[in-house]
Amino acid sequence: MAILRAMGPRAEVVRAFLVLSEAVLYGPAELGRRERELLALATCQANGAEYSTEVHAALLKQLGGGPDGSARDQALVAFARRLTLAPREAADAVAELRDHLSAAEVHDAIAVVGLLNFANRAALATEINSTDDLT
């Protein structure tokens, strides 16, 4: 996976990224897997991170796709975009998300968007793309 190379040469950083990714995206959580992938995709799109957008679009498709047009999905996408593009508006973004999600689900959403912003910056800075996964 190219994203692991984007994390750099320090094994402890790569291991920490894998552990955090597992916990945030794939482990047990209040938000379902599809909703977490929806957040991941919206974050990647907002960042213009082509590699990550391709990866998370494929994962979301496997989980049923989205957004589904519901107010909840719309709120998740809006939250991911706002937190990514206007981080100083985080408190307002969280307040709006609380109209649709429980407190635990909001924390899951914050974790997903935070993780993906970190990963997207590494991907963009190292200029990885989907062909890098083949080498």
Spatial contact of 55 and 36, defined as CB atoms under 8 Å apart: no
**pLDDT of amino acid 88:** 98
Using the predicted structure, report yes or no on whether residue 1 has a pLDDT greater than 90: no
At the second CATH level, the architecture of 2-134 is Up-down Bundle (1.20)
Instruction: Answer for the pair 38, 67: CB distance below 8 angstroms, yes or no.
Output: yes
Domain boundaries, the chain: 2-134
Instruction: Say if pTM beats, i.e. exceeds, 0.85.
Output: yes
pLDDT digits (tens, 9 = 90+) for 34-59: 999 999 999 999 999 999 999 999 99
How far is 31 from 36, CA to CA, in rounded Å?
A: 6
Give the pLDDT of residue 130.
Answer: 78
